Amino acid sequence: MVTPTEEHAITTSTRPPERMPPESALLFGRTAAIVLAVILTADFIELLDATIVGVAAPAIAADLGAGDTALQWTAAGYTLAVGSGLITGGRLGDHYGRRRVFLLGLAGFMLASAGCGLAPDAGSLIAARIAQGLAGGLMIPQVFGVIRASFAPEARAAAFGAYGAVLGVASVAGPLLGGLLVEADLFGLGWRAIFWVNVPIALAGLIAGARFMPESRSAGAARPDLIGAALAAAAATLLLLPLIQLREWDRPWLTAALLALSGAAAALFLLRGRRLAARGGQPILDPALLKVRAFSAGLAVSLLFFGALGAHFLLLSLYLQFGTGRTALETGLVILPFAVGSIAASGIGVGVAHRAGRALLVTGALLLAASQLALIPLVSGGADPGYPVLAAPMLVGGLGLGLTAPPLVGVVLAGVPADDAGAAGGLLTTVSQIGNALGVAVLGAVFFARVEDTAAQGAAAAYGDALAATLPWQAACYLGAAALMALLPARAARTDY
């Protein structure tokens, strides 16, 4: 499950000065409400598509004949694409206009959603999911910029409050809505309905956005570093390819070659960043930032933390449906306590982060580790635990996520120079998405290898033992993240919207 605050943290980071419209052009009343509804609905459906696929994965596998690797790419391809596009999308909006880039992203998301709904095979679905993620990377960074630049001061606070509420609802709605749509089989669409539902919503948003949304951009915004973005995406993709395809390819030389190419692309990315910064440009990553202890530790924390989280709900859904025979809706209900716990704790986390940020992060990470360890005896050996038994560790895990994810960026930025806060915030968000995709790749490989090895024991035992095999690794990631959090500042920076 992707956390709204973390995924959208790039939009809260420091940005170039706004080219502000005259006061008479600021949004009030009905027009402000329409624009707010458009941008929040777009964010809602983007986040929904990050969480909804896990519940529908078994139905996708059955209908398209999608294998284990295809399911991993369906989840990881989307998050990797979103992460690859966030920083570049934000800078495109700053430079060329947020309205223009937002509407372009929304149109792309609508078309890619239709492509997912029409996909005749797993390969087509994966390609459409990657296109969805890239379009989402264009949309997401524009939301806060539009609110800050176009809303009257008296309407701005209410807009940000509505933003947080909508994203909280989206994190709950994903698993439940996914289960409902799959079970309802609307118009005989089955799992395809989870994508087709985006199309009329996005079309309405395009019409209203084109009519009512004003244009805004930042004065003196630097040109986007498209070459740097391409190198970063290439490095991440070349790393994921052998991790996900390892069991299918069974070619050690190809794995080694791709990993070497990934390292080369990463080295070129850092070299370009150093040279661009020396010329006074704005690279995606200025390597000098890596010398800041809070930032480098924050990157490692994000990679471990969201790597552990990334695959959990996909693998849990596969266990619940293939291993215990639950329906998609029943699976969504099992995941619901996690979402509820996350929302309940996030308000506490944000409220006290400026006083107890680091302690809050460590507490949340330890709760998540404990929740994963508590699940092991419940799912091992073909057990079929009841709802109340599963709900307790899920709720604990959700509380841990709510305490950790919302204040994480603010705590890290408290140790970063103010002039670098924008770049650091965007990079932390991007790394969390890459970590999410890596988690799907690595933990998914462990899970599916165990299913294959124990298939003779029956589906219940095979999927239960496979999930149990991944849970210690997830707990270890959370414990490692908790240890690294000792290097972060004690308090979170106050975010100035």
Check residue 27 and report its DSSP letter: B
The pLDDT value recorded for residue 107 is 96
Q: What's the one-letter identity of residue 5?
A: T
Tokens (6 digits) for 393: 């560790």
- Mention every residue, 6+ apart, whose C-beta is less than 8 A from residue 250: none
Question: Does residue 119 fall inside a structural domain?
Answer: yes
Rounded-to-integer distance, Cα 469 and Cα 380, Å? 9
The whole-number average pLDDT for the span 373-400 is 91
Classify residue 272: in a domain, yes or no: no
Long-range contacts of 389-396 (CB under 8 A, 24+ apart): 390/334, 391/334, 391/337, 392/337, 394/334, 394/335, 394/337, 394/338, 394/341, 395/337, 395/338, 395/340, 395/341, 396/341, 396/367, 396/370, 396/371
pLDDT digits 0-9 by tens, 443-461 = 998 999 999 888 888 888 9
- Based on the domain organization, do 215 and 314 belong to the same domain? no
pLDDT category of residue 475 using cuts at 50, 70 and 90:
very high
Residue type, 405: A
pLDDT of residue 18 exceeding 60 = no
Contact 351, 440 (CB under 8 A): no
Looking at residue 492, which CATH number applies to its domain? 1.20.1250.20
Structural domain contains residue 463: yes
Taking the CB of residue 291, how many other CB atoms lie within 10 A of it? 9
pLDDT value of position 171: 66
44 plus 118 within the same structural domain: yes
Residues 197 and 304 grouped into a single domain = no
Total of domains in the chain: 2
**Residues 206 and 291 both lie in one domain:** no
Q: How do residues 74-120 score in pLDDT, each as one tens digit?
A: 988 998 898 888 888 888 888 888 899 999 999 999 999 999 999 99
Strand partners, 218: 18
* Statement to judge: residues 403 and 484 lie in one domain: yes
| Domain of 471, in residue numbers | 282-497
Residues counted in the chain: 497
Label residue 168 by pLDDT band (50, 70, 90): low
Token output for 192: 């395809």
Residue 425 lies in a domain: yes
Q: Final residue of a domain: which of 221, 237, 266?
A: 221
Q: Are residues 324 and 204 part of one domain?
A: no
**Do residues 291 and 200 both lie within one domain?**
no
DSSP 8-state symbol, 219:
T
* Whether residue 204 sits in one domain with residue 350: no
- The pTM (predicted TM-score) of the whole model is 0.85
* Same-domain pairing of 289 and 161: no
Choose the final residue of a domain: 206, 221, 236: 221
Q: Is residue 414 part of a domain?
A: yes
Q: Is residue 117 part of a domain?
A: yes
What digits encode the pLDDT tens for the residues 115-138? 999 999 999 999 999 999 999 989
Reading the block at residue 24, the tokens are 């008479």
> Based on the domain organization, do 402 and 494 belong to the same domain?
yes
- Looking at residue 94, its pLDDT comes to 83
Model confidence at 350: pLDDT above 50: yes
- Amino acid at the residue 27: L
pLDDT of residue 396: 95
Please report whether residue 6 resides in a domain.
no
Position with higher pLDDT, 493 vs 213:
213
Best CA proximity match to 8, nearest among 83, 69, 78: 83
Q: Do the domain assignments include residue 408?
A: yes
As a whole-number percent, the residues of the chain with pLDDT over 70 amount to 90
Residue among 469, 453, 272, 243 nearest 375 (CA) = 469
Residues 384 and 286 in one domain: yes
Lowest mean pLDDT among 171-180, 302-311, 347-356: 347-356
Residues 172 and 302 in one domain: no
221, 250, 273 - which closes a domain:
221
Q: Which of 332, 310, 339 is nearest to 399 (CA)?
A: 339
